[in-house]
Structure 1
Amino acid sequence: MSPVSRRGLLRAAGAGALVLPLAGRTATASPATTAGAATPHLWVGAGPFGQVHDPSTTRRRYLNDHTLIQAGGRWHLFSIVGNSAPPGQAPDSSAEVSLAHASAPDPSGPWTGHPDALTVDTSYFGEEHLWAPHVIESGGVHWMFYAAGGRAGAAINAATSTDLSTWTRLPSGPLFRGNAARDPMVLRIGVEWVMYYTELSAVDGRHQVCYRRSTDLLTWGAPGAAFTDSATSADGVSVTESPFVVARDGWYYLFIGPRNGYEGTDVLASQDPFHFTLDGYAGHVPGHAVEVVTDGQQWWASAAGWFRHGLYLAPLSWQSAPPPWQSPDNPVASLDVQGRLNVFALDAADRSMLRRVQLDPDADSWSDWEAFGGPAGAVPALGRNTDGRLEVFSLAPGGAYLHHRVQRTDGTWSDWEVFGGPAGAAPAVARDADGRLEVFALGPGGALIARRRQWSPGSLTWDAWDAGFGGPVGAPPGVAANADGRLEVFVLAPGGTALLHRWQTSPGGGWSAWERFGTPAGAAPRVARDGTGRLNVTAIAPSGTAAFQRRQSVPSGGWDDWHPLLGWSTASPLPIPGADGRLEALTLAPGGDRLAHRWQSAPAGAWAPDGVLGEDFGEPGLVLAAPPSAAADPTGRLHVFAVAEDGRLRTRVQDRPGGGWRPWAAFGDRPVAPLRSGAPML
């Protein structure tokens, strides 16, 4: 939880190649497929998070790493607590010097605040901060394990209580010290207690989830490594924080983060509680510092963090199939065969697909929302044929299959047809040098990337799927066409260990091997072509602390180094090519209350304004639920669309092509699904 653990840079990759296997893992490839395994592991997902407790009084406050425990018919919350920083900025974690306490009859509340459980005691063995409490009960005594320390070094401390109100530190001092030991979590396994905590390897500086064993909660054995990530202290970020382990049906599920941005937690499954790997990937929960609780019937995921205000709760699901991933684009928009801008979104109530059409660009008048199909498992993807006809590619609920619908030359639409499946997300779509649409689809659980293309430009007939295009990967792919027409695909490696790319070696021709494109990253990269014909790729650091941009040195050529672009980001920034060839970049900060904006002063030129904070492009007082999307209308003006937390769409439009921006305005009164990038839709 230290400031150092939250900062980092995405550094330029070397020239070495990292080749993905032609045959990706299957949807259930994990330790469950080993000999002797009775059943495969379950997949984990979470529904939407809702706020259930806000500690703010006269000032905005946040909760961070926390713990929930049921005792005496009530639920008790203990948590880091601090004063919120300005929108888009992180507070100073060294100022976290108390642990908040609240209780409720149910995890969903109502929560009643109590005096802080602990405040920092500088006379207690060098204690300078209080982080990440975890509370258990043993023999009628409650034990609170927490991270403390400072100049004396990282330490795991403990305090005990019989009433959950008055806590007494152990007179013997810290249980143990480590290199960066923090975020303890204790689980009973057999006859032992096992403590999991985040740490840095003393050998190579890699981020780890370590463990120690005890029979009395006082004396803890030598450390072991339950999980080791590829990220190191040199990367300046931590992606093994807030470890939480759940035992279920012979499997152990490790929840760790921040992954896929600050507000993201990955789940790894293993039948060995002391050994987890990325091969055991079992799902993603879109929350920070996630804890898992159950009352024996319902499961919940709780979350908190610097950029939220209080405690958030979501239903947690255990299922036999992996939940689908959501694209960062919500809604999606494109011109159709009649040159009209079409916008597609999902209805908040039943996840049916909705469409609006721009009727008059000059008056900026739009049709009402109309039903277009569904329900769907994710916001759809769009492709545009050389004659202007749109094709809509949608994911069925639960990722059962992909289907698509094709626009006719008179503007009407064909019926829906099954296009392939099962799949893990809506596909990425691009047009190749021959004018044929090519589709790149993620397999369930990120097992593989499959590729399919039209027989000829605009054809209703498609080649068979090539299921060996790539994989496994950690998020849906991105694709764009080079200036010479060659397609290039960009992906996030499993666990965010690297960015990778692959490209056509000639227009419409074969493909290169996969090569490393960047060091560890926190989300799927995004790509756009500027007015000079050069591709530009955006990405974020592993925990979302900053966003970066990399562009081609020449059109269709090599690549410059990575450069800082924007600050804290929930997803890779949206790069938008304008009518004059300049790119504009938008990124949403964690918490959703700051939308940062920068733009090129000329095509492929310097970025303005100076500094990675950019200008605040958002609407005052409005919190967004997901990153924005954008498209150009027939006049060349850009339209930005964003979903507010209440599901209402807002839009902001340029006053002229390449010009300034009008104020934000409502875009229809029908709530749409406010899906977070990477989040499964249950």
Structure 2
Amino acid sequence: MPPTTTPGLVWPSSPTRLLGTTPNSPCASPQADGRIHAITQYSNNGLGHRWLKRDGNWADWEQFSNVPNQVDGVPACLRDTRGLLHVFWRDANSNLWWLRQKTINTDWAKPEEIVTKTAGGQGETAVGVQGNPAPALNADGRISVFFHGTDGALWHTHQQGADPASWSRPQSLRGNVGQSRQDPGVARAGDGRLHVFVTNAAGEVDAIAQAEADATDEWGPYVRVSPPNAGVTGSPSAATDASQRIRVFWLSGTTAHHAAQCAGYTGWGASQALSGSAITAPRAALAQDGRLEAFVLDSGKGLCVARQKAVNGSDFTPFESLNLTGITGSHPITTTTSDNRIAVVARGSDQATWVVIQQWS
């Protein structure tokens, strides 16, 4: 039987395979009109994209002709408050790039290098980018982008003022993320503050939060979210539940764990293990019925899902297989359609991109 999900919806019996080979997993986001847009590192290290057409079919892969063929890793994308898509990626020289739509659903602007690994003026730093970037929207709509630096600290840059093309100089948020190529997790709580999560060099999940909403230059201290010596592997992830409290997910060995923000958006509750085996940390999305659904890859069962037993509850169902054993590689990406159906985008063992979208029953 397929796993249970939101009443009135079902998981499909087979995914959609988007032909073409990709070196890394894709990112995905809905456009202003709700159609999903998938973006990935291309086979020649360029940047390629594909999107759902209005007839429900997928467009062919296209390469961004003006992006240098130096994409390295998994790009990250989001939609801003005006409906424009933004894409961020690291290049082979540890610099951070940015590409945005000029108009909703259509044209793209020229890509820009917003963090450059040299010592100098605006946007330049002696520290390079390692791991994949993690963008997020501040409460006022400005984008902040977080990344692990080659110095073993967490760094960020953000849009300045009303000009969306003006970016701050990179700022260190300190921390101790080590020298591994991992990704920060980031989410915004109901009080408007961004919280960023990293795996520290001791294998624990640490969190740092804005001092107040939109305070991009003012941050509180790091706090530990996981138990001490938790043996965390890989990158943590974060999602906001129906109560607008953040829930953090991570992987220790082959067991996924999660912890929830306390009421009032301060402090963190005790962590709990999710039942079932995993090789990636969960990536969660909020379903139509207000419950989080968390997705992992399992070496034997492929793509699996667990869901909250109750809205905002701490208990999740055991991981159940979606019977898609061909999906491998790094973590799956979750997004939603225009009518708030969950979509999961992942890379297959055939190096193609696979898409699974909830269907009406």
| Same fold (TM > 0.5) | yes
TM-aligned CA deviation for residue 512 of structure 1? 0.6
Structure 2 Cα separation of the partners of residues 383 and 606 of structure 1: 28
Q: Is the 8 A contact 1:545 1:569 kept in 2?
A: yes
TM-aligned CA deviation for residue 593 of structure 1? 4.1
TM-aligned CA deviation for residue 522 of structure 1? 1.7
The 5-angstrom pairing of residues 47-66 of structure 1 reads none
Which of 288, 296, 299 is the aligned partner of 1:587?
296
TM-aligned CA deviation for residue 412 of structure 1? 0.9
TM-aligned CA deviation for residue 469 of structure 1? 1.1
Partner residue in 2 for 1:536: 247
Unaligned runs of 5+ in 1: 1-328, 661-682
Partner residue in 2 for 1:456: 161
Structure 1 residues 499 and 419, CA gap change in structure 2 (3 angstroms): same
Q: Is the 8 A contact 1:592 1:624 kept in 2?
A: no
TM-aligned CA deviation for residue 418 of structure 1? 1.1
Tell me which amino acid in the other structure corresponds to 1:343: A
Partner residue in 1 for 2:60: 368
Partner residue in 2 for 1:381: 76
TM-aligned CA deviation for residue 607 of structure 1? 4.0
TM-aligned CA deviation for residue 581 of structure 1? 2.1
Structure 2 Cα separation of the partners of residues 608 and 563 of structure 1: 10
Structure 1 Cα separation of the partners of residues 163 and 32 of structure 2: 12
The 5-angstrom pairing of residues 68-87 of structure 1 reads none
Partner residue in 1 for 2:223: 515
SS of the residue aligned with 2:160?
coil
Which of 407, 420, 438 is the aligned partner of 2:101?
407
Q: Is the 8 A contact 2:175 2:222 kept in 1?
A: no
* Offset from partner CA, 1:67-120 (integer Å, 9 cap, x none): xxxxxxxxxxxxxxxxxxxxxxxxxxxxxxxxxxxxxxxxxxxxxxxxxxxxxx
Q: Is the 8 A contact 1:437 1:457 kept in 2?
A: no
Tell me which amino acid in the other structure corresponds to 1:359: K
Partner residue in 2 for 1:575: 284
Structure 1 Cα separation of the partners of residues 302 and 316 of structure 2: 17
Partner residue in 2 for 1:427: 133
Structure 1 residues 448 and 559, CA gap change in structure 2 (3 angstroms): closer
Which of 358, 368, 379 is the aligned partner of 2:52?
358
Structure 2 Cα separation of the partners of residues 570 and 608 of structure 1: 18
Q: Is the 8 A contact 1:593 1:623 kept in 2?
A: no
Tell me which amino acid in the other structure corresponds to 1:440: F
Structure 1 residues 501 and 638, CA gap change in structure 2 (3 angstroms): same
TM-score, normalised relative to structure 1: 0.44
Structure 2 Cα separation of the partners of residues 522 and 469 of structure 1: 21
TM-aligned CA deviation for residue 439 of structure 1? 1.1
TM-aligned CA deviation for residue 356 of structure 1? 0.8
Partner residue in 1 for 2:120: none
Q: Is the 8 A contact 2:284 2:334 kept in 1?
A: no
Structure 2 Cα separation of the partners of residues 606 and 424 of structure 1: 33
Which of 428, 438, 452 is the aligned partner of 2:144?
438
Structure 1 residues 623 and 440, CA gap change in structure 2 (3 angstroms): closer
Tell me which amino acid in the other structure corresponds to 1:371: Q
Partner residue in 1 for 2:350: 646
SS of the residue aligned with 2:233?
coil
Structure 1 Cα separation of the partners of residues 314 and 221 of structure 2: 32
Q: Is the 8 A contact 1:337 1:409 kept in 2?
A: no
Q: Is the 8 A contact 1:483 1:533 kept in 2?
A: yes
Q: Is the 8 A contact 2:102 2:108 kept in 1?
A: yes
Structure 1 residues 427 and 606, CA gap change in structure 2 (3 angstroms): closer
Unaligned runs of 5+ in 2: 1-23, 117-127
Structure 1 residues 598 and 653, CA gap change in structure 2 (3 angstroms): same
Partner residue in 2 for 1:103: none
Partner residue in 1 for 2:12: none
* Offset from partner CA, 1:22-48 (integer Å, 9 cap, x none): xxxxxxxxxxxxxxxxxxxxxxxxxxx
TM-score, normalised relative to structure 2: 0.81
TM-aligned CA deviation for residue 558 of structure 1? 2.9
Q: Is the 8 A contact 1:566 1:596 kept in 2?
A: no
Tell me which amino acid in the other structure corresponds to 1:354: G
Partner residue in 2 for 1:666: none
Which of 483, 502, 511 is the aligned partner of 2:208?
502
Structure 2 Cα separation of the partners of residues 492 and 625 of structure 1: 20
Q: Is the 8 A contact 1:434 1:457 kept in 2?
A: no
Structure 1 residues 584 and 429, CA gap change in structure 2 (3 angstroms): same
Q: Is the 8 A contact 1:592 1:626 kept in 2?
A: no
Q: Is the 8 A contact 1:431 1:437 kept in 2?
A: yes
TM-aligned CA deviation for residue 367 of structure 1? 1.1
Tell me which amino acid in the other structure corresponds to 1:332: C
Structure 2 Cα separation of the partners of residues 441 and 580 of structure 1: 33
Q: Is the 8 A contact 1:490 1:499 kept in 2?
A: yes
Structure 2 Cα separation of the partners of residues 333 and 618 of structure 1: 22
SS of the residue aligned with 1:532?
coil
SS of the residue aligned with 1:639?
strand
Partner residue in 1 for 2:8: none
Partner residue in 2 for 1:216: none
TM-aligned CA deviation for residue 608 of structure 1? 4.8
Structure 2 Cα separation of the partners of residues 575 and 340 of structure 1: 20
TM-aligned CA deviation for residue 337 of structure 1? 3.7
Partner residue in 2 for 1:465: 170
The 5-angstrom pairing of residues 538-553 of structure 1 reads 538-541=249-252, 544-553=253-262
Q: Is the 8 A contact 1:492 1:523 kept in 2?
A: yes
Structure 1 residues 641 and 383, CA gap change in structure 2 (3 angstroms): closer
Partner residue in 1 for 2:90: 395
Structure 1 Cα separation of the partners of residues 153 and 304 of structure 2: 33
Calculate the aligned-residue CA RMSD, in Å. Answer: 2.1
Greater gyration radius: 1
Q: Is the 8 A contact 1:482 1:555 kept in 2?
A: no
Tell me which amino acid in the other structure corresponds to 2:112: E
Structure 1 residues 626 and 592, CA gap change in structure 2 (3 angstroms): farther
Structure 1 residues 495 and 645, CA gap change in structure 2 (3 angstroms): farther
Structure 2 Cα separation of the partners of residues 522 and 443 of structure 1: 18
Structure 2 Cα separation of the partners of residues 453 and 488 of structure 1: 14
SS of the residue aligned with 1:494?
coil
TM-aligned CA deviation for residue 374 of structure 1? 4.2
Asked if 1:634 is matched to 2:304, the reply is no
Q: Percent identity?
A: 28
Structure 2 Cα separation of the partners of residues 639 and 550 of structure 1: 24
